Chain A
Amino acid sequence: MHRFANPTRFLRLAAAVLPFSAAVAALCLGAGLVWGLFFAPPDYQQGDTVRIMFIHVPAAMMAMGVYAGMAISSAIALIWRHAIADLIAKASAPIGATFCFICLLTGSLWGKPMWGTWWVWDARLTSMLIMLFIYLGYMALWQAFDDQTKAARAAAILALVGAINLPVIKFSVEWWNTLHQPASLITMDGPKIHSSLLWPLLLMIVGFGAYYLTVLIFRVRAEVHQRRTRMLRMAQADRHAAMQAAE
């Protein structure tokens, strides 16, 4: 694992992976889009609104998946002081938050024709909203520190505390939801996914995963370069100070 802690080596690996992940993302998302919008049959219950699922469900899955990845890399960063794991966690957060937001937005747009209102405090939507708050808190904590090493460790602790808490939150929200669910509402558990809808959904999920990897590589690359700039500047400032002291 420490082989990839070296930024240069990591950048080389990332550059090798990038074309593949970008190609997979473009192909799968493109094919999923065409299939989902044009060829997949409308659901017998939900009609054409089921096409929203092809973007809603992958976004929800990846929002959770990205958090899991963020928590794992935070643990690696804390335990082994791994230099790149920090940056992977940091770079993941805006991507996960975007997925969260897409999931909420499409959920709302799906809810309007299905439930008759733009927002229902459905267990899954509510958990996703809380997850978005946790992502935002994590990103804000990174921003709050000047010292990047401290920011990295604080954010890693928060990511892990959040990871422990998220299942509890999810469970409690589900419990709360069963208490308050009015019987007249249709729940989103509804659609039994027909196999003709499964393939475009699968394509979209793979596409979202590859998209995450692609964007992650760009963002980690940006972080590596920014860190190098900071270190060079610090070295220059030190040298400058030393020269002034000598005079």
Chain B
Amino acid sequence: MSEFLSMGGYGLYVWTSWGVGVALLIALLIQSIAIARSAAKEAEATELLSPRRRRRKAEAE
């Protein structure tokens, strides 16, 4: 196991590369999901305030 972790002596480089790479990908994914959610909520809330809402709904149906 320790032999595997050491990666032939290059463990630091290999594990940092993968670690930071994967962490960045996950962070970007989470941030994207978060802004998508909050933007959807905000749009919904703004629409509730708008009197055009009913008419638009009716048009959609």
Contacts and interface: CB of A to CB of B under 8 A. Distances in A.
A208 to B, nearest CB: 9
Nearest to A101: B24
B8 to A, nearest CB: 4
Given A42-B8, A98-B25, A236-B49, A221 B40 contact: yes
A98 B29 CA distance: 11
Nearest to B45: A229
Which range holds the interface residue count of chain A?
A: 35 or more
Contacts of A221: 36, 39-40
A98 B28 contact: yes
Contact of A52 (B13, B28, B47): B13
Contacts of B51: 239
A113 B10 contact: yes
Interface residues of B, number: 33
B60 to A, nearest CB: 8
Given A55-B17, A105-B17, A233-B46, A48 B36 contact: no
Contacts of B11: 48
B36 A105 contact: no
A64 B9 CA distance: 32
A223 B22 CA distance: 25
Interface string A76-117: 000000000000000000110010011001100110110000
A182 interface: no
A109 B52 CA distance: 56
Interface string B24-44: 110011001101101110110
A55 B15 CA distance: 11
Ranked nearest first, the 9 interchain pairs of A and B with the lowest CB-CB distance are: A225-B39, A48-B7, A218-B32, A225-B43, A222-B39, A48-B8, A222-B36, A222-B35, A106-B17
Interface of A: 29, 33, 37-38, 42, 47-49, 51-52, 55-56, 59, 94-95, 98, 101-102, 105-106, 109-110, 112-113, 211, 214-215, 218-219, 221-226, 228-229, 232-233, 235-236, 239
20 contacts: A47-B9, A49-B10, A49-B13, A51-B7, A52-B13, A56-B17, A59-B21, A94-B28, A95-B28, A110-B13, A112-B13, A211-B29, A215-B28, A222-B38, A226-B43, A229-B43, A232-B46, A232-B50, A235-B50, A235-B52
